[in-house]
Structure formats: structure tokens, C-alpha cells
Amino acid sequence: MLNEQISKEFHSAYLYLDMANYYYDHNLNGFGNWFDVQTKEENAHAMFFIEYLRNNGIAVKLETIPAPTFEFKNFKEPLTAAFEHEQFITNSIHDIYAEAYSIKDFRTMQFLDWFVKEQAEEEQSADDLCKRFDLFGADPKGLYLLDNELGGRVFTEPTMTL
């Protein structure tokens, strides 16, 4: 399950890179930046799983990452898709946690505690962006200001003690 999660995290990065490209293609560079930062975060999450497996003598098995298949029709759709994807990832983390609990794998449970908290933040961030778009995105000036604000988001390398 941990190896599968690596693929899910890299797939998340791939999806967010596709969403960033969509916004850059439509001259919404701030939205593109927001998703570029998400891409980097998901890559970092995948690397945490890889490091955890390596540190515990478990072989890392990388899988094929499928290409994104989105066909966005408006500026809100990527935001909604991102929120729904974060919910999917949260459920996946919870499933791994439940399995670790059932076999009393306390080390993995402790490792996953960081991800449980992180996913709450990821879902909140994506949901907030959807709600802010609903408030301001229909007005060109509001969209401009929101795009400008999102352009200021900076990637901060997440840290975790393994």
C-alpha cells in the first residue's frame, strides 16, 4: 500500500502540473503558480514515502504514472478537481493507516500521522480556493486580484523527521 501511495503522490504532482499548464495557457499565471507549488509539494510527499520505505528495508517499486485526461471547460473546474483529488488522497492515507492499525504496525502509523494532518491542510486549502473563486472569480477585477494574490505563493520544502 505504501508503494501504491508513492504512485498516487507522483500522479497528484502530474495532475497539478497539468492544471498549472491549463492556467498558464489562459494567462492566469497566479493560478498556474499555485498549482506549480502544489506539484512540488506532491513530489516531496512521494519522496517521504520513498525514504520511509528505504529506511525500513522495504523495496521501492515505482509504477507507471498515467497521463492526466482532464478537458477543462472553465476556470473553476481545475479547482474543483483538485479538491476532489485531495479528498481521494486523504481516503487513501486513511486506508493505509487503518491497515497499519489492524496489523499493529505502529511505526507506519506514526509515519502516517504527519500525512493525516497534512491532508487536512491540503483539503482546506483546496476548498478555500474553490470558495474564494466562487466569491470573486465571476468578476474580471476579482479574478485579476485573486490571480495576482496566488502568484505570490512560494514553495516551502516540507519537513518530516523519519
Domain spans of the chain?
Answer: 2-63+73-150
Look up the pTM and report it.
0.94
Evaluate whether 137 touches 146 at the Cβ level (below 8 Å): yes
In this predicted structure, what is the pLDDT of residue 161?
A: 75
In this predicted structure, what is the pLDDT of residue 76?
A: 97
Evaluate whether 124 touches 87 at the Cβ level (below 8 Å): no
Evaluate whether 133 touches 79 at the Cβ level (below 8 Å): yes
Write out the CATH class of domain 2-63+73-150.
mainly alpha
In this predicted structure, what is the pLDDT of residue 160?
A: 81
Give, for all 162 residues of the chain, the pLDDT tens digit: 999 999 999 999 999 999 999 999 999 999 999 999 999 999 999 999 999 999 999 999 999 999 999 999 999 999 999 999 999 999 999 999 999 999 999 999 999 999 999 999 999 999 999 999 999 999 999 999 999 999 999 998 888 876
Calpha distance 49→115 (Å, rounded): 10
74 closest CA partner among 143, 2, 4: 143
Three cell numbers at 132? 474564494
Three cell numbers at 118? 497534512
* H helix count then E strand count, the chain: 5, 0
In this predicted structure, what is the pLDDT of residue 132?
A: 97
In this predicted structure, what is the pLDDT of residue 80?
A: 98
Phi–psi pair at 158, nearest 5 degrees: -70, 150
Calpha distance 96→88 (Å, rounded): 13
**How many Cα atoms are found within 13 Å in the side-chain-facing hemisphere of 109?**
9
In this predicted structure, what is the pLDDT of residue 87?
A: 98
In this predicted structure, what is the pLDDT of residue 159?
A: 87
Calpha distance 55→72 (Å, rounded): 40
Contacts of 25 (CB under 8 A, 6+ apart): none
In this predicted structure, what is the pLDDT of residue 25?
A: 97
Calpha distance 97→111 (Å, rounded): 9
Calpha distance 138→8 (Å, rounded): 32
